[in-house]
Structure formats: C-alpha cells, structure tokens
Amino acid sequence: MNTLEIMKDVHWVGAIDWDLRDFHGYSTEKGSTYNAFLVIDKKTTLVDTVKKKFSEELFARIREVNPSGRIDYFVLNHAEMDHTGSLPEVFRAFRPEKIVCSAPCRDAIIEHFGKNDWPFHVVRTGDTLSLGKRTVRFIETKMLHWPDSMFSFLEEDRLLISSDAFGQHFATGERFDDEVDPSELMKQAAKYYANILLPYSGLAAKLLESIKAMGLKIDMIAPDHGLIWRKGVTDILKAYGDWSSQKVLPKAVVAYSTMWDSTTKMAAAVADGLISQGIEVKAADLRGWHRSDVMTELLDSGAFIVGSPTLNNGYLPAVADLLCYARGLKPLGKIGAAFGSYGWGGEAVKLLNEELERMKVELVHQGVRVRYVPTPEDLENCRLMGVEVGRTLRERLGS
Ligand code: FEO
C-alpha cells in the first residue's frame, strides 16, 4: 500500500475514500481522505486513525513503515467517527502506553466505545509531550469541529497536524497541495469551511489570533482530510482569516426553485439588475444545485436573494431544504430580499422574508411577488430589486 514520508520519520498512513458522496448532507463529489500519521521516534506515535471501514488500509500502511511493530502513544485530535472508527481495533493490536487527547475527547471516546479503562492522558493548550527527538505541543480548538478538537504541533518539524481545520473532502492519489490543481483545491477548502466550520467562525478567528500570538513557525499543515499544505500554508491561513471574519465580496447568490418557470424568469431579471451594478451573480436553480454548493457560493457573497412560488401556503421543498441547512450554518453580514410567483394565497414571499430575517439577513427590499406569469412590468420590478440590492451592497462595501 502506498504510504508517504511527509517529512523525516513522519509517515502518512491514512486512507482514501474515493466513493464518499455525502457527509451529513454535504455533497462530497470528490470523495475524501482520512489522514493519519505515524511518527517514528523513541516513542513511536500514531496521530489519529481512520473511519472503521478503512481499518485494514491503516494497518497495512502502518505495517509497511513501522519496523518495530510497536506503537507507544496514540494522539487523538478529534473524537468524530471518521477519525476514531478504527480506534478499538488499533488499540487491541498495539496496546499503547498512552492515549493522548483533550478531556472532552476522552469523555466522547468513553461514551462512544464504553472503554473507560484505556490509558488516557489528558492534555490542554500549551501542554507538550516528548517523543524522544521531537516534542509535540497541543492546542485545543474547541468546536473546530467538535468540543473535543485539538491541534498537534510537532515543534522540531514545524508540522501542524490540524484535524478537521484546513481540510478538504478531496480524494486524490497525491498528498500535497502543490501536486493538484490549486483552484480546485481552494474551492474544496472553501466548500469544507462553508459546510462544516462556518458556524464556528468566531472561534476560528480567535484561534488564528492565538496561533499568531504563540509565534508558531509552521512549514506544513496536515489536516485530517484531503491535501497537506506545504506550498500554500500562507494562502490557507489567509483564506481562513477571510472566511472566519465572514468578509464578503460584491457577489450575490440568487437561489430559487420554480413550478412553471415564472419564478425562473423573475430570477433572471433579478440577476440582470445585480449584474448592472457590477455584482458577480450565482443564480442557483435548486432543482439542480446542491445545498452545499449554494453554501460555498454564499460564503463570500454579500447578498442572498431567495425565490419561490407559493405552494400549499408555503414555499417549495427545495427552498425549505436550503434555508433550513443555511440557517444552521449561520452565515453573517448578508443583505437580501425575496421574490416569487403565486396563483392565489401568495404567502411565499412574506414567509421567505421572515426566514431571511431569522437568519439575520438584512432585508433591503420588501420583495416582489407576481400572479401566475410575470408581465414585462413585473420583470422590470424584479430587475429594479436586483439594482437596489446591488447598489446597497456596493455602498456597504464602499466600492
Ligand atoms: Fe472529520 Fe469532525 O470529523
């Protein structure tokens, strides 16, 4: 099995999940990897494990690079099953002296596996562990992505093993960032942030500040999913700075669904108005767009405009799906509006406005609704709504 020595005596021994297509409602069209690392030192140490169904891959890779056949320490950066599913098997095989993790990680592992007699060694931010020639410094990263998450920094190697943070669901035969298409890599990193870490942006921003204050010199960032950053360390840190501050661009998402294409025509007119103000537009017909791709576009968009016809005194299921998902991910700092057609009743726009306000989207237009089929005048009103949203966004951005 292919392994890779990512730096001297630090081996990638993880697994590639080529087939993963859904991660809790997030479409993972590129698959994923579960990265685990074996550090050969006086105390041979396994940092993280893999999803249960990939245990054999993990064992095979460990066998290939671990002549002693012994593992002294396990370090667990995160308790979620994609990184600990194989833990009971690897524990039985190697019986390590210590399982090093945060206190919430220990508690979660005990609750998941019922193993409170394992040799847990709890660490907190700033604690270190000597492996022999090298020292590991631990940094708790609460809620990135669970309460138990932490980073492990191999000081002498300047290697930050970062668990979910800086990851991408991106299955490749390559292991390093500079071996793949950089725009695809950054797109997958943004998708990961938008769909996993966005709700914890405040904590992510504080973490970036504290890493800066610690003065860590980082040559390589090895997340537990996807490619390892060696050329793009500065780029991914900067991107996380932008994403965690929820910095927005002159960009708008127009997300909608339709029954008989009246709302589609309205969406096109809204987009036209936005474009006239120099706004980059992503018009997403939710019959074809996946909710997680809409979130990726919404990450750096300053405006969120939603359209649906009225159906059964509500709005279409595809729109409800997106709004439910987006509300949980807590995007901030957006302006917005709503639109849609109706035959009778016509509640959708009012309900969409209420939902956008619940999401803390600032409404800058009362919305447009049209009966049955938009007339040229109706479409002009839609276009003017786009103009209004676009102009307001430009003013807010000072551009
Ligand atoms: Fe990759 Fe939160 O687990």
Domain of 388: which CATH number?
3.40.50.360
- The atom of ligand 1 lying closest to the CA of 163 is 1
31 and 152 in a single domain? The answer is yes
Segment 3-19, tens digit of pLDDT:
999 999 999 999 999 99
240 and 308 in a single domain? The answer is no
**Domain count for the chain:** 2
Enclosing domain of residue 339: 252-392
The domain boundary, picked from 189, 211, 244, lies at 244
In a domain, 238, yes or no: yes
239 and 94 in a single domain? The answer is yes
Active site residue 145: yes
Contacts of 63 (CB under 8 A, 6+ apart): 69
Distance 375 CA to ligand 1 centre (A): 49
Q: What is the pTM of this model?
A: 0.97
CB 92 within 8 A of CB 106: no
The domain boundary, picked from 203, 228, 244, lies at 244
Domain of 192: which CATH number?
3.60.15.10
Q: List per-residue pLDDT tens for the chain, 399 residues long.
A: 799 999 999 999 999 999 999 999 999 999 999 999 999 999 999 999 999 999 999 999 999 999 889 999 999 999 999 999 999 999 999 999 999 999 999 999 999 999 889 999 999 999 999 999 999 999 999 999 999 999 999 999 999 999 999 999 999 999 999 999 999 999 999 999 999 999 999 999 999 999 999 999 999 999 999 999 999 999 999 999 999 999 999 999 999 999 999 999 999 999 999 999 999 999 999 999 999 999 999 999 999 999 999 999 999 999 999 999 999 999 999 999 999 999 999 999 999 999 999 999 999 999 999 999 999 999 999 999 999 999 999 999 998
Q: Identify any residues that bridge with 337 across adjacent strands, giving them in sequence order.
A: 305
163 and 260 in a single domain? The answer is no
The domain boundary, picked from 193, 217, 244, lies at 244
Closest residue to atom 3 of ligand 1, CA basis: 80
pLDDT of residue 116: 83
Angle at Cα 56 formed by Cα 55 and Cα 57, nearest 5°? 90
CB 33 within 8 A of CB 14: yes
382 and 326 in a single domain? The answer is yes
Phi-psi category of residue 290: left, alpha or beta, with phi > 0 → left and psi -120 to 50 → alpha:
beta
In a domain, 397, yes or no: no
233 and 257 in a single domain? The answer is no
Q: Is 78 touching ligand 1 by the criterion CB < 6 Å?
A: yes
